[in-house]
Amino acid sequence: MGLKALHLRGLRLQLLLASLAIPDEFEPVPLICRLILAIYEPDLRRPQFSRAGGYRLNPAWLVKRVSYQRTQGHAPPYIIYLDHDHREIALAIGK
């Protein structure tokens, strides 16, 4: 297997070499989960499916949203989000 690690915004997942993770490495996980769930919201300013507190995403930082219908079933839905707080670009791809 050629892939040894996957890097997601500082989160390192060892695929072949197991090591203990520190709590700081899990800090981005809630944001990643919220981004993936937000893919299915038609309007982040008026969320239909979010829990109390919403997705805690800034709708103005959403750069691009592509629905499953827009890809005509040829690709999964996705969003591109500029996270100004962490100075990162996030790409979330749905299923």
pLDDT one-digit tens code per residue, 4-14 = 444 555 555 54
Answer whether residue 15 is part of any domain: no
Answer whether residue 83 is part of any domain: yes
On whether the pTM is more than 0.75, the answer is no
Report helix, strand or coil for 57. coil
Structure tokens at 51: 């829990």
Taking a C-beta distance cutoff of 8 angstroms, is the pair 23, 29 a contact?
no
In the chain, the number of structural domains is 1
For 70, the domain range is: 27-93
Mean pLDDT of the chain: 80
User: Over pLDDT 70: what percentage of the chain?
Assistant: 78
Q: How far is CA 1 from CA 17, 19, 21, 89, in A?
A: 12, 18, 22, 28
Answer whether residue 5 is part of any domain: no
Q: What is the DSSP letter of 72?
A: T
Structure tokens at 40: 């299915």
